[in-house]
Amino acid sequence: MKILMRNEDNPPATRPLLRYIPVLLAFFLGVTMSAVLFILVREWEQDRFNDTWHPGGGLEQVTDGPMWRAWGILGAGLLFTSYTAALVALRTRELSITADLLQDEIDRRRLTEESLYQSRRRIAMAEETLRGEIAEFLHGRIQTRLLIIWHRLGQCEALINGDPTQARTLIQEIRDEVDQIRERDVREASHLLHP
């Protein structure tokens, strides 16, 4: 993911002339083909009219005839076609670059989405683990200590009628035990619930 971000921050530097090489090649190919076609047609027309019976023949007749206009229109059409091909090649290149950038963005967002999903899953697992620890703490340690206190209170009840002094001592011990539970265990459980 860091690699993708680094590439977004520092896009690769391309020289402007290198980006337009396919466009320039298409344009010059069209111009060259038009020039070659012009030369071939001119030579063919000159040979054709030089061999015929027309008086004056040659280039004058070629430039005045409808054939010359037709070849001129064809040459202009080829020139226009090469120019259009150059523009299409340029636009295709730009769209290709844009498509690559969009694909990089889609990939980056997919990685971010996956990372968020994993984070949520880890948080849910941590919450479940914490609930288990709190339940074990409450049902294990605190409940055991409270059960011991409950039995000691039963002993105290039996001692109240027979030995009140010992019962008072036992009550004080039970109070100290309850205070320890409140201070240590309940505080620890509270810290687990809300750190």
Per-residue pLDDT 10s for the chain (195 aa) are 444 444 445 555 555 666 667 667 767 777 777 777 777 667 666 666 565 545 555 445 545 555 666 666 777 777 777 778 778 888 888 888 999 999 999 999 999 999 999 999 999 999 899 888 888 877 777 778 888 888 888 888 888 888 888 888 888 888 888 888 877 877 777 777 766
Please check whether residues 86 and 141 belong to one and the same domain. no
Q: Enter the pTM of the model.
A: 0.43
The domain of 152 spans 130-193
Q: What is the pLDDT of residue 144?
A: 82
| CA–CA distance, 36 with 30 (Å, rounded to integer) | 10
Please check whether residues 9 and 92 belong to one and the same domain. yes
- Number of neighbours of residue 129 by Cβ within 10 angstroms: 10
| CA–CA distance, 134 with 190 (Å, rounded to integer) | 9
Please check whether residues 170 and 78 belong to one and the same domain. no
Please check whether residues 113 and 134 belong to one and the same domain. no
Please check whether residues 112 and 158 belong to one and the same domain. no
Please check whether residues 73 and 25 belong to one and the same domain. yes
Please check whether residues 18 and 54 belong to one and the same domain. yes
Query: What total number of domains does the chain contain?
Result: 2
Q: Quick one: which of 134, 141, 153 has its CA closest to 180?
A: 141
Cα–Cα distance list, 160 to 152, 154, 157, 166, 171 (Å): 12, 10, 5, 8, 10
Q: How far is CA 9 from the centre of its chain?
A: 14
Please check whether residues 96 and 188 belong to one and the same domain. no
Please check whether residues 142 and 74 belong to one and the same domain. no
Please check whether residues 156 and 183 belong to one and the same domain. yes
Please check whether residues 68 and 90 belong to one and the same domain. yes
Please check whether residues 30 and 102 belong to one and the same domain. yes
